[in-house]
Every structure is written in structure tokens, then in C-alpha cells.
Amino acid sequence: MMKKILMTFIILSIILPTLCFADDFLEETELDNFLEVSNEVTNSAKEPITNSKNIVALDRKSLTVLYEKNAYKQVAMASTTKIMTAILVLENCDLNETVEFSKTAANVRGSCLKVSTGAKMSMNDVLYGLMLRSGNDCAIAISEHIAGSVEGFAELMNQKAEKLNLKHTHFVTPHGLDDQNHYTTAYELALLTDYALKNEKFKNIVATKTTTIHVNGQPRTISNTNELLGNLNGVYGVKTGFTFNAGRCLVSSCKQNDMDMIVVVLGADTKNQRTRDSINIIHYIYDNFEYVNLSNYIQESFSNYQTYYEKNVHLYKTVTKPTIDCSKLDNYDFPLKLNSVNSLSTKFYTLKELSSHIKPNDKIGCMTIYYENKILCSTDIILTNELQPNDWFFYFRKTLGEFNRSFSY
């Protein structure tokens, strides 16, 4: 009996380290089951039923959040980390460079391309190994090649996150194995993904289902871990992930007709769950949202306020009638729920007093558009003309008028 217990302990001690960081290759749900799940869609008229802990759906055209669940909470991100790793490769490397795998890279735990120490590959092929096979060994090799060490590469990752204004994202590793100081939010991960997808090479890589790479000149075929790619209409990326702390993670990009969105699902208990949640959200968005051009609504709202403001603003040391305008938006198409335009509202915030110290094109306020009581977009309100300071003759007349009024008493 003791021998059996000891043997079981030995086997578990060998298997568990692999399971802890399996990252999509020891999942409990096979693709056949996924295809059945894809038809199990909740009532599209209501918000989807989701079980994953942290979710966001982001419209790429307007960067509007269409659905969220704990989207702003800092959490572990597992191998979705590799989206940032890939960005730094594409922005800092020639993809024809040769990458040599160190002992550290070759021996890293978790999901790997499984190459030996000293193996050589082109950076292009390493990038495919990183994003399709989710190779932790590729991530280490990349960090050492670019920055000399994992720590040095993490500094570059955090510098890039700062430039992208990702205030609740911090990196410690290039692969995403669990560390309490390695985190993001579903919302910021969606923003990072949107940035990455603007790079055509990145977009092409994550849209690749299967490809052939070369290790030491020898061909090897690898497949994408993304279970939605090629199996759900419109999905064209992006990245999977799994650690015990992060749970099952999936970042998806999907475009149907003219609506392009990113769905981030973090903290799912099972692969089945992350798949089902992603599908339900995608169906919910496409069944219930449409683009509405708000240019006329914004212009009409502003024109009404413009008339009011120019009549009621208090002028100080100037009598020049002010004229104002609102700055132009880069995009006027916003995804709204069907037949919900009446849920729009507008608020204005402007200076109560204007003086000649304020110059043309200076910002004097803003107009904010709300949808269902949440901020949809904002635009600056600017002064468009020059306010001439009052001259000596103005003050002479004013003094004379006050004198006449006093005299009349």
C-alpha cells in the first residue's frame, strides 16, 4: 500500500508542474465540443450570461465599451502577455535576424516550442512560435535577444505600457507565468490588442491557423491555440492563455460587416467556459448593436448651446461678442443598441466669464455626449475669435455715463 502511495506521489510531482503552466494544450474540452457549444447562444435581446470573472467587449472604431464585467480590475493575464512581447519584436527587430536559444530559454516550463539549447531560428519563425504555439521558450529567447535578459525586456515592456497610457498594467516576464507583480485589466488588454492589430504583420500572424517554421533549418508545422479561429465567422485573432492564477484566458478579434471588435475573457474556470462566454458576447453584440452617425446630433446640440452661451456669457474687460465652436472628432460612428437613440444626452461645461486674455483656439470648455448615462465621447469647445481689450475711449464713455447718472439724482 505504501509503495502505491509513494508511486502516485512521484507521478504527480512530475505531472503537476506541467499542468500548472500548460497554456492550452492540456485542456479538458476538445474542439468537437466547442463546435457544439457555438450553437448554445443566450437570448440575444438580453445581455449574455457569462461565467468568466473579467470580461470586456471593445468596439475598435470608437473604442467604446459594449459589454463589461469587472473589466477594470487588476488581474493575472497568463500568455496574453505575449501580445506585448510580439509588439516589441515588431518594433525593435529585423525579422530576418537569427535567434539562438539559451539553456534558460530551452528549459523554461509550461507551453513551449520544445527546442534544444543552442537551437537557431529566424526571428520571424520565433514570432510565429510565440503567438501560435504560445512558446514560453520563444518568449525567453526573444527577451534575451532584444534586451539581454528577462528583467531588461520587462523594463521595455513597462516603458511601452506607459507610452500607451496603460496605468493598471505591469509586466515582469515576457511569457506571463504567474507573478503577483504581473497584471493587467481586461479593458487595458483590449486597448493593447487594438494597438497591436494596427500592425499588419501582427494581424497576419494571429490570423494564421497553421504554418511551417524552421528550427536549425528543419521544417516543423505548428498550429494556432485559438479555438475560435476558423470556427466562428469573422474571428481573425488573437491569443489564448492559461495559468492556475489567471484561469483560462482568451483575447478574440472579430469583424462582421463593418463592425470590428475585441473581446477579452479572463479568469474562466474551464476552456469550455471561456469559449462559450466569448461566443455569447460576440453574438450578443452583432445581434443588438448598430453604428449610428452622431455628427448631426452633436452639431444640433452644440448649435442650441452656442446661441445660449454667446448671449449669457459674462464679458470682462472686453465688449467683443465671442464666437465659439466645437473641435472635430476623428470618428462620428458609434455602436448603439438598436432603436436606442433616445438614450443619448448632452452636457456642457464652459467658462462663465471670458476676457481678452483668452486667445482664439483656446479651450473654454467641453461638450460630453452620454449614452445610457455613461460617457460616450467628448469634444472641446474653443473660442474662435479675438476678444479685443477695452480701450481708453470705452472707459471714458463708461465714466461719463456714471457721472451723468450721478448728476441726474
Instruction: State the DSSP string of 43-104.
Output: -TTSPPP--SSEEEEEETTT--EEEEESTTS-B--GGGGHHHHHHHHHHH--TTSEEE--HH
- Following CA atoms 73, 78, 83, 88 in sequence, which dihedral angle do they give, to the nearest 10 degrees? 100
pLDDT at 233: 95
Q: What is the CATH number of the domain that holds 220?
A: 3.40.710.10
Asked if 308 and 277 sit in the same domain, the reply is no
**Which residue of the set 38, 52, 62, 134 is catalytic?**
134
pLDDT at 391: 56
Asked if 83 and 114 sit in the same domain, the reply is yes
Total domains in the fold of the chain? 2
Number of H helices, E strands in the chain: 12, 17
Would 397 be classed as within a structural domain? Answer: no
Asked if 301 and 243 sit in the same domain, the reply is no
| Residue 408 annotated to the active site | no
Asked if 278 and 310 sit in the same domain, the reply is no
pLDDT at 31: 36
pLDDT at 11: 46
Asked if 256 and 327 sit in the same domain, the reply is no
C-alpha cell at 390: 477695452
**Which residue of the set 79, 111, 252, 278 is catalytic?**
79
Q: Could you give phi then psi for residue 301, rounded to 5 degrees?
A: -60, -45
pLDDT at 318: 85
**Which residue of the set 69, 82, 239, 271 is catalytic?**
82
- Determine if the peptide bond prior to 56 is cis (ω within 30°): no
Predicted TM-score (pTM) of this structure: 0.84
Give 10-residue mean pLDDT values along the chain (409 residues). 50 43 41 35 65 98 96 98 98 97 95 94 98 97 98 98 98 96 98 98 98 97 96 97 96 96 98 96 96 95 91 86 92 94 93 90 94 93 88 51 52
Q: What is the CATH number of the domain that holds 377?
A: 2.60.410.10
Q: Using the structure block, give the residue that is written with the C-alpha cell 484566458.
A: 249
Asked if 207 and 241 sit in the same domain, the reply is yes
Asked if 370 and 275 sit in the same domain, the reply is no
| Residue 82 annotated to the active site | yes
pLDDT at 9: 47
Asked if 89 and 69 sit in the same domain, the reply is yes
pLDDT at 310: 83
Asked if 348 and 276 sit in the same domain, the reply is no
Would 96 be classed as within a structural domain? Answer: yes
Structural domain boundaries enclosing 52: 46-289
Residue from 134, 132, 102 nearest 117 by CA? 102
| Residue 345 annotated to the active site | no
Q: In angstroms, what CA-CA distances link 20 with 60, 108, 109, 259?
A: 33, 13, 9, 37
